[in-house]
Amino acid sequence: MPTLASLHVVWICGLSCLTLSAFAADSFPANVAPNPSFELDAKRLGGWLPVGVEATNEPPRVFITNSVHRQGSHSLCVQPGPQGLVTGRRFVASYNGGEDQNPATGTNGVRGARTIALRLDPDIRSVSSSVWINGPTTGHFQLSFVWTGREGRRPAEVLHVDKTDLTGRDKDGWRLLQLTATRPIRSHQVQLWVESDSNEPFYLDDVEITMRRAPGLEVLVDQLGYETFSATKVAVLQSASPLETVPAARVIELESFREVLRGNWQRCDPIPDWDRFHWTFDFSAITNRGRYVVAAGEGKAAALSPPFTIGDDLLRRQAAEPGYRFFYYQRCGTAVSGFHAACHLDDARMPDGKHRDLSGGWHDAGDYNKYCGFTPESFYALAVAYYRQPNLFNQWDRDRNGRADVLDEALWGAGFLLKAIDRDSLELVANTISTGYRYWGEPQKETDNQPDNSDDRPVTQLGGDRTWCAAGFALTGAALKKVGDAARGDDLIRLAVRLYEQVGGNMETLAALHAATGDAKYRQAAQSQIGNIMKQPKPEDSFRPLGEFAAEFPEDPLVVRIKPVAERRIAELEKFCAPPFDVARYPGADGRPVYFQPYADVNDWYVGSMMRHLDVAIEGALAAKLGVSAGRRLAENQVHWILGRNPFGVSLMEGVGSNFVPNYHHRYNTIPGNPRGAVPGALLNGIIRAWPHEDRPWLDLTSEPNADYHCNEPWLPYNNRWMILMSVW
């Protein structure tokens, strides 16, 4: 009888056996060249930059033109020069997919053009390119792959350069240059360079760049598992190549290693730009509780999924506590056991130079800054989770103080916000407490922790979101009254009422105030908001407050009118879902859904799709509470993506599942014993598109620390949403 450990060895050894016998000879990878025919006149020319020193105060020497073209209507023109000593700037790739501009001096200025740095997935083994060039017949042209890697937080360094100057076909004045190269060890990104030794202009068109993956099969599942009677028990088979024969799908129960279900994988339509092939297998018929794997094939040739559980109330039992514990590990202004000593006790210096005690709160993300944009929402999320699910959260009281830990965490947030709110004017006196992003070290060492001196962190912005404050204070006050702290509870509720009277509130605020006070005027105000939403041409576009109303007032007569809106909203969201992952995509500019949030330029601020998936999951769960079963399926599929059923087979929630990113973008990686910068329960920014204009997935799976922040950085608003999701699950 094989053991679980031996099954994993079989999976690793079996990949090569399977690929030799079952993979097709050619995989037809997609052309991933940015702006390949230069029809897109976008920022950075759609993904191209000058090679050499670009002179200051001169017209661009690399630009898109319609005066010369090969097949389409445009090409990229490169005008070499100027000659002699040139002062200006040089573009260099940075370690996180961006492009830096460095002051530079050199001879002969611009000599060619290159692509932006293209991120490399771990399984990319070689890259090929072809470029059509129109230029002087006496000109000498060189095609290069410039491979870059990174070490720590230093900018990308050149590891290796592959070059060719061999010309292939000539046609109508255009010459074809081609290059194929094997990926060097430790390379993280690659650029294609095209250079000339001539002083005359030349043109590029119809560029192709293809990346070839190592052969391999993966079985992707939700690594936590599936609820007992869920209808979304679907595994995804992912291959780097099309398969001549697809191995059988098998579900194996791990206690006895008995095969409990066998069937065929269902082929899915290829996803453009992904260079991967997918099949799905639905095993929703299995309702026996236990531990399982899904296998593709048999014996030594089998590829196995990570182990997972089928069980009752699985998500709440296993992922609610990590969701709120994340906030504890992010605490600022106190010692966090196993992580750091008390830090930033000297927050903060006000704009007038005076000190005000603003210690406390939570570090916002992988940095140590604090913001009253998401901190009030965090406070509310913790409070509403406890309000709606007290029996669930009362089981976790690690410090044995007689209160649920999630309520303790809400009170930690309340303590900071009480310092940040002026009790007379009710204004938030600090929105941002920050020294920027340059410090990278242990939190307690950023300042001397002695208030009222030169290294106090400054308040750089005022204000903040007081509607979430009102909702959080109301629910936390009500909870305190229930656990015997009536005086403090009443004080928080009175503050919530005053805040609402001054700034108003959203549906969550009204529901919280009604729950805390029982005053009918808050229900009436909520009913009025519902009435206004229902008068809109498409009330389903504002389903979230409708769902929140129905969750708080399930017996209200208006709920009958809300259910049809919920059905329309879920049907609309389902249009953005498709096999193999059934995850909610974004509406694309051309009307076609895209998996990853578009961005125009590599130096834009963009982060992953975690917020999209969690917001959709919350809407699905709210609809399910109204009896819309499709809402539950929609919500579950978002969670499956987050917990491992995604193209990288990685759980995006640290500690929930079995496979995680090697490194996080978090300054906690400077804490001795935590080189990954991992925070239990942290939800990442999530998978992003690899570069602009290509809906191709990217997640930083390199072994180097200080991973790409766009995808690998945790952030408070994701765990906020996770806790709200737990409150309605």
Which H/E stretch holds residue 127?
strand 124-134
Domain edge (last residue) among 546, 567, 588: 567
CA angle, 572 then 575 then 579, to 5° = 145
The residue that leads in pLDDT, 21 or 584, is 584
pLDDT tens-place string over residues 41-94: 888 999 999 999 999 989 999 999 999 999 899 999 999 999 999 999 999 998
Residues 304 and 321 in one domain: no
Residues 546 and 677 in one domain: no
Mean per-residue pLDDT, 591-601: 93
In a domain, 88, yes or no: yes
In a domain, 6, yes or no: no
pLDDT at position 96 is 84
What is the spatial distance between Cα 237 and Cα 264, in angstroms, rounded to a whole number?
11
Q: At what angle do helices 716-728 and 375-388 cross, to 10 degrees?
A: 20
Q: What is the CA radius of gyration of the chain?
A: 28
| Tokens at 583, concatenated | 């995850």
What is the spatial distance between Cα 113 and Cα 64, in angstroms, rounded to a whole number?
12
Residues 72 and 177 in one domain: yes
Domain edge (last residue) among 311, 344, 362: 311
* Matching residue, tokens 């490194």: 663
Q: For 253, how many CA atoms within 13 A lie in the half-sphere containing its CB?
A: 12
Residues 293 and 425 in one domain: no
Residue 16 has pLDDT above 80, yes or no: no
Tell me which residue of 592, 557, 401 sits closest to 480, measured CA to CA.
Answer: 401
Which H/E stretch holds residue 696?
strand 694-698
| Residues in contact with 455: Cβ distance below 8 Å, sequence separation at least 6, in sequence order | 346, 447, 448
Tell me which residue of 325, 341, 499, 339 sits closest to 404, measured CA to CA.
Answer: 325
CB of 19 within 8 A of CB of 45?
Answer: no
Distances (CA, A) of 690 to 250, 296, 708: 33, 29, 11
In a domain, 502, yes or no: yes
The per-residue b/e assignment along 467-491, b for 16 or more CB within 10 angstroms, e otherwise, is bbbbbbbbbbbbbbbeeebeeebee
What is the spatial distance between Cα 699 and Cα 121, in angstroms, rounded to a whole number?
8
CB of 586 within 8 A of CB of 597?
Answer: yes
Residue 20 has pLDDT above 50, yes or no: no
Domain edge (last residue) among 567, 597, 630: 567
pLDDT at position 123 is 95
CB of 141 within 8 A of CB of 194?
Answer: yes
pLDDT at position 150 is 85
pLDDT at position 591 is 85
pLDDT above 70 as % of the chain: 96
pLDDT tens-place string over residues 251-287: 999 999 999 999 999 999 999 889 999 999 999 999 9
Of the pLDDT bands very low, low, confident and very high (cuts 50, 70, 90), residue 540 is very high
Number of domains in the chain: 5
- Domain of residue 270 covers 215-311
pLDDT at position 5 is 35
Mean per-residue pLDDT, 605-632: 97
What is the spatial distance between Cα 116 and Cα 45, in angstroms, rounded to a whole number?
10
Q: For the purposes of burial, counting CB atoms within 10 Å of the CB of 6, is it exposed (0-12), middle (13-18) or buried (19 or more)?
A: exposed
pLDDT tens-place string over residues 555-582: 999 999 999 999 999 999 999 999 999 9
In a domain, 3, yes or no: no
Tell me which residue of 707, 703, 651 sits closest to 681, measured CA to CA.
Answer: 651
* Matching residue, tokens 């992707």: 220
In a domain, 682, yes or no: yes
pLDDT at position 4 is 32
pLDDT tens-place string over residues 454-489: 999 999 988 888 999 999 999 999 999 999 999 999
pLDDT at position 676 is 97
Residue 17 has pLDDT above 70, yes or no: no
pLDDT tens-place string over residues 676-727: 999 999 999 999 999 998 999 999 999 888 899 999 999 999 999 999 999 9
Q: Collect contacts of 20-24 with beta carbons under 8 A, ≥24 apart.
A: 21/301, 22/243, 22/244, 22/245, 22/246, 22/247, 22/301, 23/215, 23/239, 23/241, 23/242, 23/243, 23/244, 24/241, 24/242, 24/243, 24/244
- Chain mean pLDDT for the chain: 93
Residues 728 and 590 in one domain: yes
Residues 270 and 357 in one domain: no
Residues 328 and 474 in one domain: yes
| Residues in contact with 59: Cβ distance below 8 Å, sequence separation at least 6, in sequence order | none
Distances (CA, A) of 652 to 222, 517, 642: 11, 39, 5
- CATH code (residue 295): 2.60.40.10
Residues 160 and 222 in one domain: no
pLDDT tens-place string over residues 140-167: 999 999 999 987 777 789 999 999 988 7
What is the spatial distance between Cα 570 and Cα 632, in angstroms, rounded to a whole number?
10
CB of 505 within 8 A of CB of 470?
Answer: yes
Residues 145 and 159 in one domain: yes
Residue 130 has pLDDT above 90, yes or no: yes
pLDDT at position 42 is 83
pLDDT at position 13 is 34
pLDDT at position 624 is 98
Residues 339 and 474 in one domain: yes
Of the pLDDT bands very low, low, confident and very high (cuts 50, 70, 90), residue 10 is very low
Amino acid 17 reads C
Counts of helices then strands in the chain (DSSP H, E): 15, 30
Residues 503 and 626 in one domain: no
CB of 455 within 8 A of CB of 447?
Answer: yes
pLDDT tens-place string over residues 281-307: 999 999 999 999 999 999 888 999 999
pLDDT at position 43 is 85
- CATH code (residue 53): 2.60.120.260
| Residues in contact with 305: Cβ distance below 8 Å, sequence separation at least 6, in sequence order | 219, 220, 221, 235, 293, 294, 295
pLDDT at position 670 is 97
What is the spatial distance between Cα 384 and Cα 548, in angstroms, rounded to a whole number?
11
CB of 127 within 8 A of CB of 119?
Answer: no
In a domain, 665, yes or no: yes
In a domain, 36, yes or no: no
Residues 363 and 332 in one domain: yes
Of the pLDDT bands very low, low, confident and very high (cuts 50, 70, 90), residue 138 is confident
Distances (CA, A) of 140 to 111, 136, 143, 197, 200: 12, 9, 10, 6, 11
pLDDT at position 706 is 87
Mean per-residue pLDDT, 601-625: 96
Q: φ, ψ for residue 623 (rounded to 5)?
A: -65, -35
| Residues in contact with 422: Cβ distance below 8 Å, sequence separation at least 6, in sequence order | 428, 429
pLDDT at position 499 is 98
Tell me which residue of 526, 528, 516 sits closest to 551, measured CA to CA.
Answer: 526
Tell me which residue of 355, 347, 349 sits closest to 331, measured CA to CA.
Answer: 347
What is the spatial distance between Cα 196 and Cα 167, in angstroms, rounded to a whole number?
13
What is the spatial distance between Cα 344 and Cα 333, in angstroms, rounded to a whole number?
5
In a domain, 37, yes or no: no
